[in-house]
Amino acid sequence: MKLFLDTANVAQVAEISSWGVLDGVTTNPSLVLKEGKDFKKNVLEMCKLVPCVSAQVTATDAEGMIKQGREYARWHKHVVVKVPMTTEGLKAIKFFASKKIKTNTTLVFSAAQAMLAAKAGATIISPFIGRLDDQGDDGMNLIADIMEIWQQHDFKTEVLVASTRHPRHILDAARLGAHICTIPYDVFKKLPMHGLTDTGLKKFQEDWKKVSNQ
C-alpha cells in the first residue's frame, strides 16, 4: 500500500520523505489555507520530493475544472488533478482521462460514487472515512464495500483511503487491500513509535556501554 501525506506544508513533506517511505501528497483548499503561501510554489516544491501531488480544482463547473486542471497538469508531471465527486466533476474526469491527465476524485462518501468516478476514468478515488465516522457511520465499511466491488470488476482506478484520524485506520486500510492511504502529519509521526522499541534500545545502549567498559 502506498503511503501519502495529507498536507500542504513543504517542510512536513521533506521530513517524512526523508524516512524513505513516502509515495505522495494530497492537498486540499483547507490545508492550503493553513499554509497561507503561494499554492503553485508549494506544489512545485512538493513535486521535487514525491512522485504524486494532488492539487484540487476550485471551479464547480466542468469547463472551469478543465481549465484549472489543465493548467495544474502543465506545472509538473507529478501533479494529479483533484476533482470533486459531482456530475460536473465526472465530466471533467472523463475529459482528463481522454488527455491522459491523472485525476484524484475527492469527497467520495458512497460505493455508487466510487463506481461512477472509476467508470469516468479517475486514476484515483478518495473515500473520506474519518468524516463518515464523525457523523456516526462506519467509514471502514465503505472501504470494505469498495474493495469487494473492485475485486469483482476490472477497475484500474486506485482506492485511496482519505480523512484518516489515527494509526488503526491505516492498518485497517492495508488489511482491506486499499492501494493508497493518505495520512495527516501528526498521525504519520505516530506510526514508527513503540514504547517497547524505546525501552529495548535504551537497554541495548546501556549494556553496550558496559561491554566497552570491560
Binding site for ligand E4P (CB under 6 A): 6, 26, 28, 106, 126, 128, 130-131, 162-163, 182
Length of the chain: 214
Asked if 82 is an active-site residue, the reply is yes
> For residues 39 and 155, what is the distance between their CA atoms, to the nearest angstrom?
32
Catalytic one among 2, 34, 82, 190? 82
To ligand E4P, the closest distance from the beta carbon of 65 in angstroms equals: 16
> For residues 152 and 97, what is the distance between their CA atoms, to the nearest angstrom?
23
Residue 18 belongs to what H/E stretch?
none
Partners of residue 51 on adjacent β-strands = none
To ligand E4P, the closest distance from the beta carbon of 6 in angstroms equals: 5
To ligand E4P, the closest distance from the beta carbon of 95 in angstroms equals: 21
To ligand E4P, the closest distance from the beta carbon of 8 in angstroms equals: 9
> For residues 70 and 62, what is the distance between their CA atoms, to the nearest angstrom?
12
Q: Which of 19, 13, 157, 148 is CA-nearest to residue 80?
A: 157
> For residues 77 and 74, what is the distance between their CA atoms, to the nearest angstrom?
7
SS3 37: coil
Positions marked active-site: 82
